Structure 1
Amino acid sequence: LSSIRSKKEKLQLPLDIYMNLFDTIVLPVLLYGSEVWGYEDSEQLEIFFRTFLKNTMKLNKQTPNCMVYGESGRKSLYIKIRLRMINFWIKIVTGDEHKLVFHFYKLLRKMHDDNYYTSPWIGKMEEIFNTCDMQNVWLNPLNFNTEWIKKEISL
């Protein structure tokens, strides 16, 4: 990040190009594997992201977060992580039934439904769909168009 910042100052890059550099260089590193670990607390990433936005836009540290996101036109990393988790879930449930990941998902899902064991990831996926008032998608994922699910959940 510091090398990007020094390039910005040296080349006097406009804000949109600097943000684009962040999106293409730093953000993929921050969100790497978030499809799997996304159920964990991501507050440290959010703080880093908001600090970057505040510093970039030369805002006071006490500027409310909603204003930072609104002025920058950015969404919280929390939302990006959840969307990545949903896309990964869709790939699993609609994917090849011969793949190992499909079998592990079915096993974890059965254990979850039988109240034998709840994987944190499975539990978070159910919570996401319940929060979005899409319990039917969670219960019967193959009865829904995946593009419709992505469109409805995307904020």
Structure 2
Amino acid sequence: LFDTIVLPVLLYGSEVWGYEDSEQLEIFFRTFLKNTMKLNKQTPNCMVYGESGRKPLYIKIRLSMIIFWIKIVTGDEHKLVFHFYKLLRKMHDDNYYTSPWIGKMEEIFNTCDMQNVWLNPLNFN
């Protein structure tokens, strides 16, 4: 029930706002899990995730950001979102301006050791 009703509301638009700190959402999610499983508030978070078979929400958020990024870079070149992405990316690469979203995407790819995908987005198909 949580996955079908609450989670979509919590993560709505996360592909766009996902660069923001999601700690408040994580706290809410862990509190829900602890209450559902009747665990003590002091139970370590790793135990809560392990026993529930769940992952932290930031993983879903980053996945939605990556899927959104793929749709942008492989999408129709005539769409406005494609042109805005290209403009933001050029400004980022030229160190003129870094959009928080673009910066987070680069961080995600670098963390996953996928710099080649970030540097050559059209060559990963």
TM-score, with normalisation over the residues of structure 1?
A: 0.80
Measured against aligned partners, the alpha-carbon deviations of 1:83-137 in whole angstroms (never above 9, x if no partner) come to: 0000000000000101110000000000000000000000000000000010000
Equivalent pairs counted in the alignment come to 125
Corresponding residue for 2:89?
A: 109
Which of 1 and 2 has higher RCO (CA within 8 Å, sep 6+)? 2
Displacement, 1:141?
1.1
The CA distance in 2 between the partners of 1:73 and 1:117, in whole Å, is 40
Q: Which has the larger radius of gyration?
A: 1
The CA distance in 2 between the partners of 1:80 and 1:50, in whole Å, is 15
Which residues of structure 1 form unaligned runs of 5+?
Answer: 1-20, 146-155
SS of 1:74 mapped into structure 2: coil
The CA distance in 2 between the partners of 1:103 and 1:143, in whole Å, is 18
1:14-93 pair list within 5 angstroms: 21-93=1-73
Displacement, 1:72?
0.5
Displacement, 1:49?
0.2
Corresponding residue for 2:120?
A: 140
Runs of 4+ off more than 3 Å: none
TM-score, with normalisation over the residues of structure 2?
A: 0.99
Displacement, 1:142?
1.1
SS of 2:88 mapped into structure 1: helix
The CA distance in 1 between the partners of 2:44 and 2:121, in whole Å, is 38
Measured against aligned partners, the alpha-carbon deviations of 1:60-81 in whole angstroms (never above 9, x if no partner) come to: 1010001100111111001110
The CA distance in 1 between the partners of 2:95 and 2:66, in whole Å, is 22
Instruction: Give the percent of matched residue pairs that are identical in Structure 1 and Structure 2.
Output: 98
Which residues of structure 2 form unaligned runs of 5+?
Answer: none
